[in-house]
Amino acid sequence: MTERTSAGSRPDEAAGHVIPFPTRAAPPQIAFNRDELRTIFNLYGRQVAAGEWRDYALDFRRDKAVFSIYRRSSEMPLYRIEKDPKLARRQGAYAVIAASGQILKRGTELVRVLAVLEPAPKAV
């Protein structure tokens, strides 16, 4: 004789009809768009040509996107360019952070934030 539940079905059959609890969809991954990457790579290319920078890394997390700039690939990054949309209304979505962790510039426009990394003009 088999066990019966109060509904009249076997226990293993009752477990097969569980309705899953609805969950929220995972938030989209944060990334740089094409125009942002073009702006960053223009600066990066000029600095590589000048011999200042040699390597980079891209990191796309759920909360922010990070472009790390290295002098040598075995070191800590010289600078990090971060895009954090949660800060867009308060301090600005973009930030340039030095190796020490100091925020060099933060703002809503990437071009203005990256200006802190542009080399100073030299007298000829």
Instruction: Write a three-state SS string for 58-90.
Output: EEECCCCEEEEEECCCCCCCCEEEEECHHHCCC
Q: Residue 57 is part of which domain span?
A: 34-117
- Band (123; pLDDT cuts 50, 70, 90): confident
Q: Would you say residue 83 lies in a domain?
A: yes
With residue 55 as reference, give the H or E element that holds it: strand 55-60
36-80 per-position pLDDT tens digit:
999 999 999 999 999 999 999 999 988 899 999 998 777 789 999
Q: Is the pTM of this model over 0.75?
A: no
Is residue 73 domain-resident? Answer: yes
Residue pLDDT, tens place only, 83-117: 998 888 888 899 999 999 999 999 999 999 999 99
Residues 6+ apart with CB under 8 A from 73: 54, 55
- Answer whether residue 100 is part of any domain: yes
CA 36/CA 83 separation, integer angstroms = 10
